[in-house]
Structure 1
Amino acid sequence: MSMTKNVVLSQTTILTKLPHVLKCNGPKLVPFFKTVAIFFILFPKSKYKTADMFYLTFKCLPICSLILFILLNGINLRGFEYSYSRRILTGLAFSLLGDALLVYDHAFFIHGVLAFGISHILYASAYGMRPLRVFMLPFMVLPVIVIYLMLSGVLYRPLSYVIYPYIGLTMFMIWRAMARMKIDNNEWTWTRFYSFLGGILFATSDALLALDRFVTPLVHSQLLVMATYYAAQLLIALSVVDSHEDTEMNFCVIQETDIIKIIQEHGKLLSQVNPDDLFALLSAKRAYIKQTVANTPIKAILMEKKVRIGQNIDLFLSRSPVMLFIKPAAQQHQQKKSN
């Protein structure tokens, strides 16, 4: 099983390397690269302060192009399959709103920051909370402390009530992207790395903007801030290219460590279940599981052992949405036996 898993991961890694992704999705990304180039040609100056619709339009066009890229990659408004893409798409939409509001920053700066904060929440929700990886949190706290020390004394109080929580949301998003890579157990993919690197570049862009706006003016600030920002959004958008498989791995599948622990705790009662078969079943596509679960011995075994395991098997069943296909059948089986 481990050999098969490694082969699948290696194939996914090859297919999601940046050169391959750009080659396969190049035509869909042409509008993004063109609009970014046009923006920097039209507005090369760092201190362009004219708040008009002309500037707003060309500033927002690259993000509109990334929204189009996700739509062309495949998405629907319902169903579990595209939940990751939908959240990234919605995050881009709020980023687009934030871009527009910050053009008129004299009146809508706080509103723009709030819009970007919502986009970070949406990105983090797409990355999920499993695995948790609490040990990574200290790496997120240190940048927050550094930025706080840098900005303390230069932010007036009402603005600090928005900026500091926004910094926390940014670090939270990066934490979830880092945890999602699963780099410590060799389950990482390039697209997961893109989302993490995108978060780092997003934070870099925000830090440069804060430094230029509140601490000291930067040379070529427009180029530095917007280049890192557009690169960040591009990488985050590219993370949807294998979102079908990634969604299954993040939201449908019980973690292997959880399965091993459960089997160890109830080894005698689940002795008939082959762990490799269980891993294979839970790692399959959702549609495949729905079609084939009736033909696997696991369904009958779980129904047979349900009464004996009691609450423990209920916990086992509830830990994965995939197993919800089995639970109703198990309940019907128990009712028939009691009747």
Structure 2
Amino acid sequence: MMKWSLPLLIGAMSVIYLFIPSEPLPVKVIFKLIPMFLIIVFAFRQLSSKPTPALRFILLGLFFCTLGDAFIAVSFIAGLGAFLVGHLFYLCGFIYLSRMNKWRLAAAIPIALYSFLIGRQLISALRTDGDIGLVIPVIAYMLVISIMALSAILTGNKWAIAGSILFVLSDSILSWNMFVSEIPFSAVFIMTTYYSAQFLIASSLSSLQQIKETIV
């Protein structure tokens, strides 16, 4: 039971957050951050006393995504920037632990196609609404998160792969709902996929540390 106590608490706090009113904003943000703080604690518990640099990168990714959760409540660009840094850390960690083969590399094709189709709609909507200043940041973010997802696939780790795909899905729902058209129950879909993605990435650390790192 002790093994499942923290994951159950993470799940419970994630559900509670969905029912917290939007105002006052500081209270909403605090409850949004609680599951992420718990996920970071869970991540540390997956590691040995001396984690490799690659695993530290992934921990830093979790930390910057938590900052993104806080920043985005007051500034979309600041939040996007923090998440971008977080994905870069995830990318570095996964690339160090990658075990490439032609089948995993082939995943670049559907990822690129999906990113192109979603990105084209987002850019069109941004231009239509006059949000030209967001076009470059959004393109940069989509490029980085797509490469991050591919790097997770290259590790061959099922938890990292599932987490990265859910992260892409969560951000797709968020951006589509913000810029293209409203999605019913979007908040529920966004946050459940988001917290699940972060939890799965944290869960991957235990098995990822068994991969021999070739970079000194």
Query: Normalising TM by the smaller chain, what interval?
Result: 0.7 to 0.9
Deviation at 1:75, TM superposition (A): 5.1
Provide Cα deviations, 1:185-213, integer angstroms capped at 9, x if missing partner: xxxxxxx1111111111111111111111
1:169 is aligned, of 144, 154, 166, to: 144
Provide Cα deviations, 1:132-169, integer angstroms capped at 9, x if missing partner: 45433222210121012211322122101100110011
Gaps of 5+ in 1: 1-22, 182-191, 253-319, 322-339
Gaps of 5+ in 2: none
Match in the other structure for 2:124: 153
Deviation at 1:73, TM superposition (A): 3.0
How far apart in 2 are the matches of 1:161 and 1:122?
A: 20
Letter in 1 for 2:99: P
Q: How do residues 1-339 of structure 1 correspond to structure 2 at under 5 angstroms? A: 25-43=3-21, 48=22, 50=23, 52-74=25-47, 76=49, 81-104=51-74, 108-128=75-95, 130-133=98-101, 134-155=105-126, 156-181=131-156, 192-246=157-211, 248=212, 251-252=213-214
C-alpha change, 1:24 and 1:102, in structure 2 (3 Å) is same
- Any idea what SS the aligned residue of 1:57 has? helix
- Any idea what SS the aligned residue of 1:93 has? helix
Greater gyration radius? 1
- Partners of 1:88 and 1:123 within 8 A in 2: yes
Higher relative contact order (CA 8 A, sep 6+): 2
- Partners of 2:47 and 2:209 within 8 A in 1: no
Provide Cα deviations, 1:86-117, integer angstroms capped at 9, x if missing partner: 2221111100110001112xxx1111111111
How far apart in 1 are the matches of 2:34 and 2:11?
A: 10
Residue identity over aligned pairs, in percent, reads 25
How far apart in 1 are the matches of 2:30 and 2:209?
A: 33
Letter in 2 for 1:197: A
Q: How many residues align?
A: 208
TM-score, scaled relative to structure 2: 0.87
How large is the RMSD of aligned CA atoms in angstroms? Answer: 2.0
Letter in 2 for 1:69: F
Letter in 1 for 2:27: F
TM-score, scaled relative to structure 1: 0.57
